Amino acid sequence: MNESILVVDDDAEIVRAIAILLEKEGYRVLKAYNGLQALELAMDPSLRLILMDVMMPKLDGLSAVLKIREQRNLPILILSAKGEDTDKILGLSMGADDYIAKPFHPQELVARVRSHLRRYTQLGDVNSPTQKAELVTGRLCYLPDEKTLLVDGTPVRLTATELKIVDLLMRNLGRVFPAEEIYRRVWNEEPYSAENTVMVHVRRIREKIELNPKEPEYLKVVWGIGYKIEKH
């Protein structure tokens, strides 16, 4: 497949580390150390994804994203040491697809890249009109008839209880369920130590569907209220 990924960062060591990590996964890596170089390399036809730092000499990452977006429609992931929510929002509004705060965990970075690539390349299949009933939120796709959860298009193996919880939450995207209600509807019993029981399962589901289970993007705890799957 030999898909190319463009890594842009003014810190050469970071570029090298990311390159090694991605090459291990079988991707071809193009390296750039400032925005202008990134603009040149972004025209490579084999390019599938871009990892872009924000603070760089000559041309900063956000401006580079804007210019690349004019030409190309491919996933752009922002890498930034800023990590502020406002920076995140700014980056996404500039046309980036995801935002990874430094220092990132290498596994998470690779997972995100993989996830975006899969979605980017398989998007046509997923969105094809052959689909029947399906519930989609971001990387997750739930097929209620087949009781299957697809993450980046790949089915995830869930236990029966986990599947029941996912079924409940995916059918009611964005709605917050108290632990007691989840317990009642999944176990069909009067709740006992509901919080702990539900939390254990939630944690397990997270490990299967989240890129970084410690900072979940989909299955979230609404503190003091309950649980929900975020609608993206």
Closest separation in Å from C-beta 208 to another protein: 17
Q: How is residue 213 written in tokens? A: 């289970």
Q: Indicate the residue among 139 and 201 with the shorter CB distance to another protein.
A: 201
CA distance 199 to 195: 6
Closest separation in Å from C-beta 103 to another protein: 4
- Please provide the DSSP assignment of 152-201 as one string: TTEE----HHHHHHHHHHHHTTT--B-HHHHHHHHH-S--SSHHHHHHHH
Give the CA diameter of the chain. Answer: 63
Give the H/E segment covering residue 30.
Answer: strand 28-32
Helix 106-126 with 12-24: angle, nearest 10 deg: 60
Q: Which residues contact 200 (CB under 8 A, 6 or more apart)?
A: none
| Chain positions contacting another protein, by CB under 8 A | 11, 13-14, 17-18, 20-21, 24, 81-85, 102-107, 171-176, 178-179, 195-196, 198-200, 203, 221-226, 228, 231
Q: Indicate the residue among 20 and 43 with the shorter CB distance to another protein.
A: 20
Closest separation in Å from C-beta 105 to another protein: 7
Quick one: three-class SS letters along 91-136? HHHCCCCEEEECCCCHHHHHHHHHHHHHHHHHHHHHCCCCCCCCEE
Closest separation in Å from C-beta 194 to another protein: 9
Closest separation in Å from C-beta 99 to another protein: 14
Q: Indicate the residue among 66 and 225 with the shorter CB distance to another protein.
A: 225
CA distance 26 to 90: 32
Q: Indicate the residue among 111 and 121 with the shorter CB distance to another protein.
A: 111
Q: Indicate the residue among 89 and 123 with the shorter CB distance to another protein.
A: 89
Q: How is residue 138 written in tokens? A: 């971001």
Closest separation in Å from C-beta 72 to another protein: 26
CA distance 116 to 134: 20
Q: Indicate the residue among 82 and 119 with the shorter CB distance to another protein.
A: 82
